[in-house]
Amino acid sequence: MSNSNFIDHVIIYTRSGKGGAGSVHFYRGRAIPKGGPDGGDGGRGGHIILKGNRNLWTLLHLRYTKHIFAGNGEAGGANRRTGSDGQDRIIEVPQGTIAKDYESGQILGEVTSHNQMVTLLKGGKGGLGNDHFKSSTNQTPRYAQPGEPGEERQITLELKLLADVGLVGFPNAGKSTLLSVVSAAKPKIADYPFTTLTPNLGIVAYRDHRSFVMADIPGIIEGAHQGKGIGLRFLRHIERNALLLFMIPADTDNITKEYQVLVNELKNYNPELLDKSRILAVTKSDLLDEELKNWISKELPKDIPAVFISSVTGKGLTSLKDVIWEKLNASEIAE
């Protein structure tokens, strides 16, 4: 996904269709000049529906679609003929899309699987024809119900990437490099901060033809939960990950302190993120000899498993995959 093509936030104005009016009609035939009421019902208005599509990875196709209207129901007809329903408007979105009311922020629905459909706005009901209002005291009702109006609402669509593993770290921690080595993803890589400006997904092959999905999230900086840097915009993508892989370079002055800063940013953004399984990967470990590696090991956080890796030499990558797979399976068993 190129930077310009990844859109994870759009605002659209939607309106469902209004119901068709019921019909006021009386049967007329050659032998029956004054028949009873036979007006049909109006059709319902069209719905506004979200539909999951696993082939979509971005909301780019909705970027310039500012208005989405469903069709109106048709009026009822003679001979108790019901009017046609208004055409539904189906909005295809990537898996992991959440729809919110723009004004209140209320969640209207979320799509997490392929072909899942969520009705955001219901079309108005069609009105009843005059056939429904006949009675022993009123055999020729000359009225019918109008169709109900549709709903209209400004909606915010947000995409939260669905991935098994989310990479968490400061800029230049080696996240994109790791993703490029263990998967076929080709994120932009350079030796300066904020190289990654959009999330990248990669499928990581594991033993016996198994695999898991890894997401490279743009680097977080201290204060990201307050809007500093570019991390805030993408912190929501971490909410969908089953496991968080914290990545800190071996040449960092204080690995434990940097880890705590990252944990604090996640906590301030959403405390529930701390309930996810965590792994610490010490990157650029090809720079370490055994003595230095042992010394650093004693200083690492004790509450999560740690793996020394090097994306350049491939050192520790197999062990890392093993730990990730074990953690992912443990999460599934726990659920």
Average pLDDT over residues 156-181: 84
Query: What is the spatial distance between Cα 247 and Cα 268, in angstroms, rounded to a whole number?
Result: 19
Fold of 165-334: Rossmann fold (3.40.50)
pLDDT score recorded for residue 171: 79
Among the ranges given (48-62, 148-162, 214-228, 316-330), the one the predictor scored with the smallest mean pLDDT: 214-228
Average pLDDT over residues 247-259: 90
CATH architecture for residues 1-159: Distorted Sandwich (2.70)
Query: What is the spatial distance between Cα 90 and Cα 308, in angstroms, rounded to a whole number?
Result: 48
Average pLDDT over residues 233-259: 84
Q: Output phi, psi for 302, to 5 deg.
A: -90, -10
pLDDT tens digit sequence for 12-37: 999 999 999 999 999 988 888 888 99
Give this prediction's pTM: 0.68
- 261, pLDDT greater than 80: yes
Query: What is the spatial distance between Cα 211 and Cα 205, in angstroms, rounded to a whole number?
Result: 4
Average pLDDT over residues 139-150: 95
Average pLDDT over residues 108-120: 94
Among the ranges given (244-248, 277-281, 284-288), the one the predictor scored with the smallest mean pLDDT: 284-288
pLDDT tens digit sequence for 63-111: 888 899 999 999 999 999 999 999 999 999 988 899 999 999 999 999 9
pLDDT score recorded for residue 270: 83
pLDDT tens digit sequence for 41-64: 999 999 999 999 988 878 888 988
Domain ranges of the chain: 1-159, 165-334
- 271, pLDDT greater than 90: no
DSSP codes, 183-241: SS------SSTT---S-EEEEEE-GGG-EEEEEEPPPP-TTGGGT-TTHHHHHHHHTT-
- 289, pLDDT greater than 90: no
pLDDT score recorded for residue 185: 59
**Residue 80 in contact with residue 10, Cβ under 8 Å?**
no
